[in-house]
Structure 1
């Protein structure tokens, strides 16, 4: 065992080395809590759902992950990282199994996969990884603009928010405007103390912040996440709730962002609480909001874990899983 590994918390090393067992225990705990506390609500919800609904929602979630993979692959290409699409897909989808692990282990595994399988070091692989997460977050922020509080037509609100984010990225990508804009941003005390680090990050990611690249990748993120927003809308409608597509859009986007801010694995707990609370605020009854929340999380978060496990099990050898796991354990 390396000195680096022994310096890491034992629980992190255990999760990396026993990932499948960790996922099984976590899933069992979630199922047990659901059965114990909301068994009757879930039974009534399942009885009320039309037979076509589950395949439709799973198809929308699959569309989300397919589009986000295309974005990941584009980011690699834009960063001058050229690997075959089959290998890129294996890496991306295998890491979905880690969306419920703490400390962003999925991101760590992507870096290790790229280094082990393709000899690509962190200096080149970190920028597309950061922009992948950033464009997801920016897309969710833009989708929050579908809230009627802004006084704009919902689609217009989302497009205006997206255009503003692309404009900001263009200013950061251009050397002439980067300095003045960073100077303005770092007037905030929290950012001022980190100006040097922020400048380094922006410099490293400048090529991915160019308007064309950022616009395409942000558009892909918007489409991907909106597919899951539609999944929430379908579930609520299937359960008998009068929820508009616009409300489903901002509620799902805001709940996902709030869940991520808890820094819990997969936003567990935070996302569910936000979803249920926001659904009730738009007059979806609690008897529908709770099962709708659990069903949409099963069709998104836990479906992603399932996809990741399937890919990992079938591609263990080509992914050099044992080697990657050992290296990830030493860095976790």
Structure 2
């Protein structure tokens, strides 16, 4: 089965565009600071660099499991390898405002019979789950001086509130319905948004919500822990909770900036927080550069590889030999 209007030639053009865009971003953003990048990587060595990349991979694996759970919950039973291929391919489109380019996974899912409303619902649910995990990590950092019992209590309360409120979108639907009477909106667009909200509501049952929140917290904690190890390697021992807080807050700042991949916003907040807390400028810049290379740019690199190597399976609905 083939997607209407999507051919191998068109997908090749998409892949080429994002490869060139990625190369352009790297050259433009990093050429003037190439010496800082090179010296930053050299300062930690290949062993620690591999460790950071492995923790990023753990993040991706946990998010793939979450993605697969969402799809199965909506009735889409894709093979694990194919589901992982589609998910990783979406990373090639991360360099878009709000990561909206990752919605293109829905085009690949359509090849295997997954409706666009389902794929968009999963995308929205993922973003909500990511936001919940990031906010929990920020809470950990803010209250890092408090007793562990209070921290755990706050997390439990936050999870309970999420479980109680998110499944009940009827109020939101009613509110949007009333709002649409006062704001012009084509009926077709209105119906699609209502369908999306209802589909997303299906992803927020207590069981799937609890599982997704847990996986999201583990996933983002793995990258935040990598940031902690990086700070330790660079000689700045500010504590694990501090690293979780800085990484989570910088990630949130990049997300709400709606800049492609959070470029600029994430780096500015991360470096600024490190400087405010007494880390030397050279080390702060090195830490920011390395963690972004081993998270954001590593994900984009894997996404481009998945698009190139998995082109046949993504376009034609045929799995690669051996899958």
TM-score of Structure 1 vs Structure 2, range by shorter chain: 0.7 to 0.9
Partner of 1:8: none
**What is residue 74 of structure 1 aligned with on the other side?**
69
- Contact kept, 8 Å, 2:41 with 2:49, in 1: the verdict is no
The 1:273/1:159 distance shift into structure 2, 3 A limit, reads farther
Q: Distance in 2 between matches of 1:193 and 1:258?
A: 30
Q: Secondary structure at the match of 1:145?
A: helix
Distance 1:98 1:293 in 2: 22
Matches within 5 A, 1:165-204: 165-174=159-168, 178-179=170-171, 202-204=197-199
Aligned-partner Cα distance in 2 for 1:93–1:46: 25
Give 1:17 shift. Answer: 6.8
Cα separation, partners in 2 of 1:48 and 1:22, compared to 1, 3 Å: closer
Do the aligned residues in 2 keep the contact of 1:60 with 1:228 (CA within 8 Å)?
yes
Secondary structure at the residue paired with 2:31?
Answer: helix
- Residue 31 in structure 1 maps to residue 63 in structure 2: no
Please state if 1:22 is matched with 2:53.
Answer: no
The CA deviation string for residues 100-149 of structure 1, in whole angstroms up to 9 with x for no partner, is: 1347453331111111x212222222211110111011110111011244
Q: Tell me the equivalent position of 2:187.
A: none
Partner of 2:119: 125
CA deviations on 1:219-245 (whole Å, 9 max, x unpaired) are: 100000011001111111111112211
Conservation of the 8 A alpha-carbon contact between 1:272 and 1:293: yes
Q: 1:139 aligns with which of 126, 133, 141?
A: 133
Stretch moving more, 51-60 or 96-105: 96-105
Contact 2:246–2:270, Cα closer than 8 Å, also in 1: yes
Asked if 1:231 corresponds to 2:226, the answer is yes
**Matched residue SS, 1:311:** helix
User: TM-score scaled to structure 2, two decimals?
Assistant: 0.81
2:133 & 2:312 partners in 1: Cα distance? 35
Structure 1 residues 64 and 103: CA distance shift in structure 2, 3 A? closer
CA contact (8 A) 2:118 2:199 kept: no
Q: How many residues align?
A: 295
Counterpart CA distance in 1 for 2:46 and 2:16 is 40
Cα separation, 1, equivalents of 2:42 and 2:17: 37
Judge which range, 61-70 or 161-170, deviates more.
161-170
Question: Could you say what secondary structure the match of 1:242 adopts?
Answer: coil
Q: How many angstroms does 1:51 deviate by?
A: 4.4
Q: Quote the Cα distance in structure 2 between the aligned partners of 1:77 and 1:259.
A: 30
Contact 2:103–2:123 (CA<8 Å) still a contact in 1? no
| 1:111 aligns to 2:106 (yes or no) | yes
Question: Relative to structure 1, is the Cα distance of residues 30 and 59 closer, same or farther in structure 2, using a 3 angstrom cutoff?
Answer: same
Q: Match of 2:320?
A: none
Tell whether 2:272 aligns with 1:265: no
Where is the helix percentage greater, Structure 1 or Structure 2? 1
Q: Kindly provide the CA deviation profile for residues 21-78 of structure 1, in whole angstroms up to 9, marking residues without a partner as x.
A: 111211222231322xxx2x44554443254211111110010011111111111111
Counterpart CA distance in 2 for 1:49 and 1:155 is 35
Q: Does 1:284 align with 2:279?
A: yes
